[in-house]
Structure 1
Amino acid sequence: MLQRFLLFYFILIFASTNTFAQDGTCVSGNCQNGYGRFEWHSGEEYIGNFSNGKMNGYGVFYWQNKRKFIGGWKKGKMDGEGILFYENGQIKKGIWKANTFVRLLRNDFSLSRENIQHGEHELLQMLVDRPALADIVQKDDLIWQWVLYKLAGEDVQSPIYWQANSNKNFPIPTGVNAVHAYPTPKSEGRVWVADDITSEEMWAGIVYELHNIKNGPEFQKIERDAKYFACSRKDYIMRYARLEYKAAQETAIFYRTIWLPYCQSKGIKPQPQLWFYYLPDTFEKWAKGFNDPSSYPWHPYSGYYDQIVKDVVKNY
């Protein structure tokens, strides 16, 4: 479904103490000025370099929940290049400054075996979280392979992650079936699809968002223009809609060239209206239908524009 490009940021706050003696024990080495191992009474553990009794230099910190950070430290805080390993297996490699996440570090992109394995892992997880997807598409089918390579990062030169649920870093607007987030210096690309729709609606939403995510740089430009009052509310809304029209055109082409023949080979009767099959041949014709201020694209984009302006004025 049509949606707003979402930017989201990861800020990691790590609660640490500088007074080791009151909260734990140095179990080996030199935990004042040297290399040692320190264990907190709460269960956390640090192995690495110390200076003036604080974590400083290179070291590994283990949380109770099996999360760990390997990398640079300064005055007891994560600082510099490092890798954060989450308890769910996700990995974030990036730069931290005084416990605050600054940006991701990405290797030069290629459709490597690792990235293709990533795409398959995310797609398999999608089927676990949205089992209805398997009603139409099976592993290694043509559609499966197409989505796998998109998740591997074929179009945006960065792997895309499956997002199962809404959270504070990935808010989902009301009334939409699918949403994406373009990869930014601070966050990975993501895609979400609703769990209360049919299998074909899910696949149509996924395919649409994997086309729409390519518009990320243009969406970001619209956001910047709004922040600098370089576009009006109407301009903001229509520019978003024009980019989404482009993604809808690509989705309609996908339907004609890939989905329809696939369904015919499987004896499945498809629903072309889910794939923008009846999309007008120009954006201007399509936009003539935007007459209801409570529906797309005025909802949700007018609210997003107003929030941007409000935040700018507040911080001025």
Structure 2
Amino acid sequence: MHMGIKPQVSRQRFTGLMACATGTALAGFRAQAQPVHSLRHGRFEITVLSDGFLTLPAEVLLPDATPEQRGPLLTALGGDASGARVQANVPVIRAGDDLILIDNGAGGNFQPSTGRLEDNLKAAGIEPARITKVILTHAHPDHSGATLGDDGKLRYPNAHYYVGRKEWDFWTDPQFETHNAAALHGFALGAKRDLLAVEDRLTLLRDGDEIVAGLSVNETPGHTPGHISVELAGSEPLLITGDACTHDVIFFAHPGWHFGFDTDPELALSNRQKLLDRAASERLKLLGYHWSYPGIGRAERHDGAYRFVPG
């Protein structure tokens, strides 16, 4: 049972966020994320494409910040008193004959400024039918919402899917509404829609599982109970963090702060601190989903916390 797991923001508030992007915001997006960022890491070729951006309110991004702290931080993020944008960076990884997505974006199931991945794949010369694997870090709508197209068919019809076993067990629990807070019930509807759509082509993952040679799974729960990160081997590891660390400015500078959409806030905070400590100690390369495009860089210790160093 999962009694006592309570996100910090209500479902009603979360639902309202889905429609908050304006036409001005959409116009701004069309000019972003060019040129496309690509790199080689060991045996892997990685291209980071954008699914658009989200607009999140201050109480989600900065629930622990004082009013005096919020203003300068939101300004630094390009926002205002109401909140700020965060990006949605989707890595496309070529490994031999495999073409792998880490998360598939929102489709039409989140804010109207998201759901751009399929168009950006095609602009990069990648047809959806060529994707062979989709790894879901977790089943929130901005990460798994594009599993099905508007026609109800799979967007990536030839792909095999992967998700954490604990993530599957949590969202598909037949007694979910009894076991969990009402604020999570809406999330569960979307998660079940996405996960059950690929049940016949789905592998459930545990910590340490290797999906292809050199690409393995790290369990990083808290944001959701079965959240995973993906580690790529190379001369130095590259860790694709999903939402285990949700922002490259806020949580590097303030690793003791919570994030409003974490399902288990204290577990998420603890694992975020462990991730940043390991990244700084081992000089890991990092790639974050909601970080400033392309979301690639390192964590350095700075003034008792960390700073993000792009590159």
**For this structure pair, what is the TM-score category when the shorter chain's length is used for normalisation?**
under 0.3
Is the helix fraction higher in 1 or 2? 1
| TM-score calculated relative to the size of structure 1 | 0.23
Is the strand fraction higher in 1 or 2? 2
| TM-score calculated relative to the size of structure 2 | 0.24
